[in-house]
Every structure is written in C-alpha cells, then in structure tokens.
Structure 1
Amino acid sequence: MIICDARKAMFLRNEGSPTLLKLEVEQIKQASPNPPNGQQGADRPGRMQNAVAPTSATDETDWHDLAEKQFARETAAALNLASQSGRSRGIVLVAPPRILAVLRQHLDEQSRSRIVAEVDKDLTKHPIHAIERLLTGA
C-alpha cells in the first residue's frame, strides 16, 4: 500500500486481512525542501515576439508544481522497483487526485497489473491507526 501526497510517501504492508487492516510501515520518503517560487526563479517572466501581434509575456515556471510531479515520479519508480522484486502482491494507491494521475502515468505495466484499489484522498497527515479506520470505513 502506498499513501502519498506531493511531499511524503508512506510504503505500508497490511499484516491483517482486507477487512481488518493492521498496517506496518516499511518505508517513509520525504520530498526535498521546496523554497518559495521567488527564491527559485531566475528573473521575471520571459517575453515572446509575435509575428503579427504585440509582444506578449510567457507564464512563470511553477517550481512547486514541478517539484511535486518529480516527487510523484520518484515514488512511482520506487513502487516499480518493489513490484519487480516481488515484494508487493496487491497494491493500494491512496493519494490526492492530482498525484494519483502522475503515479498512474509513471507506473510500469507490472505495477499497474497489481493495483487492487485506488483511493483519491490525502491521508499522509493521519496516524496509522486512523488510516486503518478510514480505509475500512469502521
């Protein structure tokens, strides 16, 4: 089971049954620090010369969005590695919808075939016992 958001990923193993979860933490990954955009950007937004119209500005780079997507790609790569090693049988993905989309996009075929459920919620800030309760609906 993977519970993640844009900053934290928890790799958990269910030692219980599908209806009575007993989750054990295998690994926790944290994203590297992500300072404000103003500290990461190089300069003001670029300008583009149009052939028939006046000059227009281009969008600023959203460094936070890029870092969040990179962390999701790294999480998917770690899940692919675990899947290839045979450590994971059935995979449950729990993540906000935006992160879930990036995970799906970067999982290999073997990992995708092992997904048994997807939950589009952010549960990374909950303690393990609360996650067990929330996922079983108890």
Structure 2
Amino acid sequence: MSKLQNGTWVVVTDSEKALFLRNLTDHDNPNLDVFDEDEQENPSDREQSANRPGRMNDTGVQQRSAMDDTDWHELQKERFAADLAEKLYDEAHKGSFKHLVIVASPQVLGVLRDEMHKEVADKVVAEVPKTLTNHPVREIEKLVKRELDAA
C-alpha cells in the first residue's frame, strides 16, 4: 500500500499554524491541495504576562527569592497541538479521511502523539519530523514524498 493514496490528508503543522492538505493523485506524483488552515495568535510571553514574577520569603533574615512565572507563550503552543488533535478526532468521526500523514517538528509531534485519540492514531500512515509550514506546497510535496520513500 502506498502511503500517499488519493484522498490522504497531510497535516503540516508547527506550534502556531496548521495546513490541511489533501492528496488529489497518488504517491508517485503527489498533488497536495490546501483545503483548510488554522493559525493562532500567540504574542510573546512578555506581552501575555500580567505583571512581574512573584516573590517569596526564604528561610534567612530578610531574604526573598523570585518565583518562576508561567510561560504563557509556551503553554499556548501546547494548547494549539491539543486543539489540533481534537479537530482531527472530530474529522475522523465524520469520516473525512481514511489515511493521515503528519508533518511536524519533533516537539509538536510528541505532544500530538500524547493528545491523539486512538481513532486518529489508527489512520496515521506516516509521520515526518520536520517543520515545513512556511514552505510552498510544491516543496512540501517533494519533501514529503522523499521522506516517505526513505521510510
């Protein structure tokens, strides 16, 4: 079975953007069509923080230490991957795809694997650990085919 059959979904994502592509041909000559795109607004952590980090008293006399503040920017990146996993679950239940290729950075791929429902994981035919969200579609086609041929 070739990995890029007609109708196979290819999701190209990083921690802030996801491209949804559908293969219109076959594995030998892939023709990926972008049919959806998700992007989140994720300002820097400094812009999202409400105030400076808190302080706490230490055991010594008049000693105080700064506490680590929540990294809102990083938290939002993890939420994006979790939201993407949920969207894929909804689409799998609708029968929108039979086969799925995920192209994502290794960190995002790890979060997706943890968050992905079994119904979606069973449809994954390949994972490509690369960040390709800002590449042209023709370049994505070539890179994905090359990666899948090498696997």
Structure 1 residue aligned with 2:139: 130
Of 34, 48, 65, 1:56 maps to 65
Q: In structure 2, give the amino acid aligned to 1:44.
A: R
Identity %: 38
Matches of 1:97 and 1:77 in 2, distance apart? 19
Matched, 1:27 2:43: no
TM-score normalised by length of structure 1: 0.89
Alignment of 1:36-47 (within 5 A): 36-47=44-55
CA apart distance, 1:7: 1.5
TM-score of the superposition, structure 2-length normalised? 0.82
**What runs of 5+ residues in structure 2 fail to find an aligned partner?**
1-9
**Structure 2: which amino acid aligns with 1:25?**
V
Residue number in structure 1 paired with 2:25? 16
> Aligned equivalents of 1:71 and 1:101: distance in 2?
13
CA distance in 1, matches of 2:144, 2:42: 30
The CA deviation at 1:136 is: 1.5
Q: State the SS of the aligned residue for 1:122.
A: coil
Distance (Å, rounded) in 2 between the aligned partners of 1:109 and 1:34: 29
Deviating runs (4+, > 4 A) in structure 1? 52-55
Q: Report how far residue 84 of structure 1 moved.
A: 0.9
Choose which of 103, 107, 112 in structure 2 pairs with 1:94. 103
Number of aligned residue pairs = 136
SS in 2 for 1:16: coil
C-alpha distance in structure 1 between counterparts of 2:104 and 2:56, whole Å: 37
What CA distance in whole angstroms lies between the structure 1 residues aligned with 2:122 and 2:48?
38
